[in-house]
């Protein structure tokens, strides 16, 4: 005979089972995320775009038909009558206003674009993780001080902060990377702190503390690995933002003035005087930026859904 | 409630104090030091000595900081060294502010009127063709650099088809009476309909370009939030009680789903301010965004100083107001 108490217990048991992180038995969060991602068309499209982009960036110098810095058609460029040489055999997209092959610049530009995006994101990650670990791992007054600083940085519109930072630095590839990296620091810090705080009172951390594990191993071995998920999602999304923001900096004249090693955002910024008469100069780098930014965004969004147990429907 | 407001105002005060420290550090970090940055290349040795004394550069840092705050409170941010040579930096901000406010309000209005209904429809038809299409376009919307979108709009609607003016705020020939400084509103107040219509036509393209990112963000938040609320017990209860669909939609779904949307609107003010820098530059729209863009190009630090500070203050104050509005709508926030 089933008593009232039994049904109540069964209900709690089933609730506890539903609350477990993965649907599949004995499968870790990351493993189950991967199983879901493998079948997710959104992730696959994003991953395909990004794989192609990274491959292109690696083999770019061998793939480009011409030297991207060589002013091959400079003889035809004339300020008044013909500022931008037209497409022709050997130059399928034509040349820019300095007679350099546009196709080669786009191909080689993938490399610099990837470098700017990755370094800015890594820079932001390093700063953000350090602050986040300090705040979330130590807590107390350290947490209070770090978070106040982070909140003030977040209280300035981020792109505006990037413009202001770039304005005090000598314009170069590094000033662009630094400006974009710094505006990501408070976002990563806040994110990691939040997700570490939720770890702090969880059973496995309490258990480790009860066993006498020291603070540093608890933070790095028990809290960080479980708190890093949202940070990875955010980093994927930041890769897209970094590439778009680099273009905005170039557009305002705060980008890298050295254009011998082209970057898509820089090419887009440099194309602005010709937009009404030669829109293709801006159009090609813009399409490249949008495609790659979309690729990172699709990957980030599908990763977010796969790692969030709540979104599993 | 009062306690909550007081606490948030105190937090804002702290944020403003830290902001002043940041700005003070920023000025000291300018290339060539603050004096040559603030005076520009044409500054005379006397003017430089004058400014050095004013800034108190020979004094200890805390004294310098106090002087900096004093000058800021008096509205003395120096004289423009760039395109607006000779004009006090604060005046540039004040005369240009209405244009940017008008542009931002239009952009936000476009974003809200499209994003909220579309977010709702998208959530109700989750997985359908319309939903998929809208989600994809919102993702693309975020991936397109704002200034490129602005250029494309300008090229198509102004240069190619000649439907709308390519740049500016109001046609120069129009004799418009200024009342508030908001061109569209002034036309309505003085019944100069042609002036109002003309200003509206100038606003339309920049506002659409500027609305792209807020639209994408608000659309996705609305959609996600409606999806969450739709599964709630109280919605099922309302349905079981036999309430009519429009009542459920407005009172049960939207009222709760819009709570996260309110917070995100405050954060979008930041995107609008930064986006205005890029959009106003493309459309030569005479707001604070264009002044900032020109300031960055010509390294006009006195102008940059006041505009960055004001932009940050606007952003902080708007978000304070949003937080208070949020607490009014959702009583749970107050006790947190």
Contact check, Cβ <8 Å, A158/B308: no
Nearest Cα residue in chain A from B272 = A157
CA distance B229 to B218: 16
Concatenated DSSP letters for B63-128?
Answer: HHHHHHHHHHHTT---B--STTTTSBHHHHHHHHHHHHHHHHHHHHHHHHHHHHHHHHHHHHTTTS
**CB atoms A148 and B14 under 8 Å:** yes
Q: Give every CB contact of residue A209 below 8 A, 6+ residues apart in sequence.
A: A218
Pick among B34, B123, B148 to test the A interface (most A CBs inside 10 A): B148
Residue A217's pLDDT is what? 87
Q: In this predicted model, which residue has the larger pLDDT, A227 or A44?
A: A44
Q: Are A221 and A137 in contact (CB under 8 A)?
A: no
Among residues of chain B, what percentage have pLDDT more than 70? 97
A198/chain B closest Cα distance in angstroms: 16
Q: Do B30 and A168 touch (CB under 8 A)?
A: yes
**Residue contact B281–A157, C-beta within 8 A:** no
pLDDT digits (tens, 9 = 90+) for A124-133: 999 999 998 8
Contacts of B32 (CB under 8 A, 6+ apart): none
Q: Which of A150, A162, A168 should we substitute to test contact with B (largest number of B Cβ atoms within 10 Å)?
A: A168
Residues 6+ apart with CB under 8 A from B153: B205, B208, B209
* pLDDT tens string B63-91: 888 888 888 888 888 788 777 878 888 88
Residues B234 and B252 sit within 8 Å (Cβ to Cβ): yes
Chain A partners within 8 Å of B293 (Cβ):
252
pLDDT of residue A22: 43
What is the C-alpha to C-alpha distance for residues A124 and A10, in angstroms, rounded to an integer? 47
What ipTM was predicted for this assembly? 0.84
Q: Tokens 């059973």 map to which residue? A: A203
Whether the CB-CB separation of B266 and B112 falls below 8 Å is answered with no
pLDDT at A119: 96
Residues 46-105 of A with CB under 8 A from B: none
What radius of gyration, in Å, describes the C-alpha atoms of chain B?
24
Closest approach of B323 to chain A, Cα-based (Å): 13
User: In angstroms, rounded to a whole number, what is the distance separating the alpha carbons of residues B309 and B305?
Assistant: 6
Residues B58, A152: Cα–Cα separation, whole Å: 29
Provide the 10 A C-beta neighbour count for residue B43.
18
Q: A229-251 and B129-143 helices cross at what angle (nearest 10)?
A: 60
Comparing A276 with A282, the larger pLDDT belongs to A282
Q: Which of A252, A276, A294 sits opposite B140 (nearest CB)?
A: A294
CA distance B329 to chain A (A): 23
Judged by a CB distance cut-off of 8 A, whether residue A167 touches chain B is: yes
B123 touches chain A (CB under 8 A): no
The minimal CB distance from A268 to the residues B31, B145, B304 is found for B145
Sign of CA dihedral B150, B155, B161, B166: positive
User: Sign of the CA dihedral A89, A91, A93, A96?
Assistant: negative
CA pair distance B1, B11, nearest whole angstrom: 15
Mean predicted confidence (pLDDT) in B257-284:
86
- Are A157 and B271 in contact (CB < 8 Å)? yes
Chain A residue with Cα closest to B228: A311
At A99 the pLDDT is 82
Least confident of A234-238, A265-269, B1-5: B1-5
| Stretch among A120-124, B13-17, B78-82 having the lowest mean pLDDT | B78-82
CA distances from A42 to A286, B126, B143, B175, B270 (A): 22, 15, 15, 54, 29
B131-144: per-residue pLDDT in tens? 989 988 888 888 88
* Any A CB within 8 A of B224 CB: no
Residues in chain A closer than 8 A to B312 (CB atoms): 155-157, 160
Residue A248 is nearest to which of B143, B147, B299, comparing CB atoms?
Answer: B147
Q: What is the pLDDT of residues A12-67, one digit of tens each?
A: 454 444 444 444 456 677 787 888 888 888 899 999 999 999 999 999 889 888 88
Question: What pLDDT does A17 receive?
Answer: 46
pTM summary value: 0.85
CB contact under 8 A, B148 and A301: no
Distance from CA of B333 to the nearest CA of A (A): 18
Q: Work out the pLDDT band at B250, boundaries 50, 70, 90.
A: confident
Average pLDDT along chain B? 85
Whether residue A277 lies within 8 A of chain B, CB to CB, comes out as no
Query: How close B31 comes to chain A (CA, Å)?
Result: 6
Q: What percent of chain B has a predicted confidence (pLDDT) above 90?
A: 20
Contact yes or no for A252 and B281 at CB 8 A: yes
pLDDT band at A303 (very low <50, low <70, confident <90, very high): confident
B85-112 confidence digits (pLDDT tens): 788 888 889 989 999 999 999 999 999 9
pLDDT category of residue A1 using cuts at 50, 70 and 90: very low
pLDDT digits (tens, 9 = 90+) for B157-198: 988 898 888 888 877 767 777 777 787 787 787 877 888 888
Considering only CB atoms, B296 lies closest to which of A158, A254, A276, namely A254
| pLDDT score at A3 | 44
Q: What is the pLDDT of residues A159-174, one digit of tens each?
A: 888 998 898 888 888 9
Please provide the average confidence, as pLDDT, over all residues in chain A: 83
More confident residue, B263 or A278: A278
Q: What are phi and psi of B177, to 5 degrees?
A: -85, 130
Per-residue pLDDT of B192-244, as tens digits, reads: 788 888 888 889 999 999 999 999 999 988 998 898 888 888 888 998 998 88
pLDDT-based confidence at residue A6 (cuts at 50, 70, 90): low
Of residues A146, B105, B8, the one with CA closest to residue A154: A146
Chain B hits for A160, CB-CB cut-off 8 Å, are 270, 273-274, 277, 292, 308, 311-312
Interface test with B, best of A166, A167, A279, A299 (most B CBs within 10 A): A167
**Token code pair at residue A141:** 């007054």
Who contacts B17 (Cβ-Cβ below 8 Å, separation ≥6)?
none
The closest CB to that of A164, out of B275, B308, B315, belongs to B308
pLDDT of residue A5: 47
The answer on pLDDT for A136 being more than 90 is no
Note whether A268 contacts B: Cβ–Cβ < 8 A.
yes
Kindly tell me if the per-residue pLDDT of A183 is higher than 60: yes
Interface test with B, best of A155, A169, A310 (most B CBs within 10 A): A155
Higher-confidence residue: B60 or A313? B60
């Amino acid at each position: 005979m089933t008593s009232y108490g039994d049904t109540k217990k069964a209900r709690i048991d089933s609730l506890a089972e539903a609350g477990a992180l993965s649907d599949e038995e004995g499968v870790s969060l990351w493993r189950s995320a991967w199983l879901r991602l493998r079948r997710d068309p959104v992730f696959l499209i994003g991953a395909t775009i990004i794989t192609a982009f990274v491959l292109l960036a690696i083999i770019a110098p061998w793939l480009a038909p011409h030297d991207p810095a060589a002013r091959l058609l400079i003889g035809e460029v004339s300020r008044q009558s013909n500022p931008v040489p037209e497409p022709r055999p050997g130059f399928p997209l034509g040349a820019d206003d300095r007679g350099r092959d546009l196709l080669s610049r786009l191909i080689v530009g993938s490399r610099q674009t990837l470098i700017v995006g990755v370094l800015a994101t890594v820079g932001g990650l390093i700063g953000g993780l350090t602050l986040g670990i300090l705040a979330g791992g130590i807590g107390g007054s350290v947490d209070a001080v770090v978070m106040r600083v982070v909140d003030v940085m977040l209280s300035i519109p981020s792109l505006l902060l990037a413009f202001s930072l770039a304005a005090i630095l000598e314009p170069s590839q590094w000033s662009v990377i630094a400006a974009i990296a710094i505006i990501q620091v408070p976002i990563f810090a806040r994110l990691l702190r939040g997700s570490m705080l939720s770890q702090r009172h969880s059973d496995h951390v309490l258990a480790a503390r009860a066993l006498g594990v020291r603070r540093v191993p608890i933070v790095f071995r028990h809290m960080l690995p479980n708190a890093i998920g949202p940070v990875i999602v955010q980093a994927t999304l930041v890769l897209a933002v970094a590439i778009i923001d680099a273009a905005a900096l170039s557009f305002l004249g705060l980008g890298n003035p050295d254009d011998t090693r082209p970057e898509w955002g820089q090419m887009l910024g440099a194309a602005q005087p010709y937009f009404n008469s030669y829109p293709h100069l801006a159009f090609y780098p813009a399409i490249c930026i949008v495609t790659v930014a979309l690729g990172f965004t699709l990957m980030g969004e599908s990763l977010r859904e796969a790692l969030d147990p709540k979104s599993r429907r | 409630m009062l306690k909550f407001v007081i606490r948030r105002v105190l937090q804002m005060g702290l944020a403003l104090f830290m902001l002043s420290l940041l700005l003070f550090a920023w000025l000291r970090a300018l290339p060539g030091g603050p004096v040559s940055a603030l005076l520009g290349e044409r500054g005379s040795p006397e003017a430089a000595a004058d400014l050095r004394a004013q800034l108190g550069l020979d004094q200890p840092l805390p004294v310098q900081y106090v002087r900096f705050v004093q000058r800021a409170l008096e509205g003395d941010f120096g004289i423009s060294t760039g395109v607006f040579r000779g004009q006090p930096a604060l005046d540039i901000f004040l005369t240009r502010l209405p244009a940017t406010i008008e542009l931002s309000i239009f952009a936000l209005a476009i974003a809200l009127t499209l994003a909220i209904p579309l977010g709702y429809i998208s959530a109700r038809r989750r997985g359908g063709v319309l939903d998929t299409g809208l989600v994809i376009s919102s993702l693309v919307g975020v991936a397109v650099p704002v200034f490129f979108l602005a250029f494309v709009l300008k090229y198509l609607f102004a240069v190619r088809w000649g439907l709308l003016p390519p740049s500016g705020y109001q046609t120069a020939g129009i004799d418009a009476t200024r009342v508030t400084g908001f061109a569209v509103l002034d036309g309505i107040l003085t019944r100069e309909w042609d002036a109002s219509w003309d200003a509206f036509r100038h606003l339309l393209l920049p506002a659409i370009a500027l609305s792209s990112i807020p639209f994408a963000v608000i659309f996705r938040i609305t959609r996600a939030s409606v999806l969450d609320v739709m599964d709630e017990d109280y919605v099922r209860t309302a349905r079981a009680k036999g309430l009519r669909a429009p009542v459920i939609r407005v009172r049960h779904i939207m009222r709760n789903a819009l709570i996260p949307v309110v917070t995100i609107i405050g954060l979008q003010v930041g995107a609008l301010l930064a986006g205005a820098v890029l959009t106003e530059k493309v459309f030569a729209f005479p707001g604070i965004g264009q002044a900032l863009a020109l300031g960055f190009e010509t390294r006009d630090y006195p102008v940059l100083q006041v505009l960055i500070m004001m932009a940050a203050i606007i952003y902080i104050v708007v978000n304070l107001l949003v937080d208070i509005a949020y607490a009014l709508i959702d009583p749970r926030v107050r006790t947190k």
